[in-house]
Structure 1
């Protein structure tokens, strides 16, 4: 387990932390804790770069306003890069920064955990004989 002293507390992206010590888990969750952030990161990991409408289609049940706000937040946190690919008509493409791509093992672990454990719980009556 890593030492919490590896990163100075004032460099943590979270504005609060559990307990008195700097907490890497809390800071990581502060970066990806919004409902759509992990999904957006996951889709950009799968596709490298996507334009707004393509990303919206990949994410699914998200409004354009929420997608725009989420992308702005992820860009502010230096996880997503926004590049204008044409001026007329304006076309913007979103991709992950190196920092965003470094979340791949986290997203992969979340996906694997979900595949393994997010199944309906078996009741005592359903147990195998």
Structure 2
């Protein structure tokens, strides 16, 4: 953290920390990633049921962002009705140690 102390706070987005937050930040991205780790591959409806209170618009938006950032792989099967599956990419899996440490912190500090 020492190397960030002399930076202008308005410039946080240009730091490695800011970049990481731009990828996993927000209310639902880490939740989506959690469920994709738990089940490895989920269809859209399964993912929506796991998450619970998320609108279709928000889930679609978050999945598109995760896919464009190379975190989630979307696999579409050419069939009727359409079948789409989501899973974590290699890049997505590389974020798991960070999320595991967050879980560990939660276990140790949950009141």
Q: TM-score, normalised by structure 1?
A: 0.73
1:83 to 1:112, Cα distance in 2 relative to 1, 3 A: same
Question: Unaligned 5+ residue runs, structure 2?
Answer: 5-9
Q: Secondary structure of 1:83's partner?
A: strand
Higher relative contact order (CA 8 A, sep 6+): 2
From 2, 7, 18, the counterpart of 2:12 = 18
Q: Number of matched residues?
A: 105
Structure ID, larger Rg:
1
From 21, 24, 29, the counterpart of 1:37 = 29
- Tell me the equivalent position of 1:60: 52
Question: Unaligned 5+ residue runs, structure 1?
Answer: 5-15, 120-129
* Structure (1 or 2) with the greater helix fraction: 2
* RMSD of aligned Cα (Å): 2.1
Q: Secondary structure of 1:75's partner?
A: helix
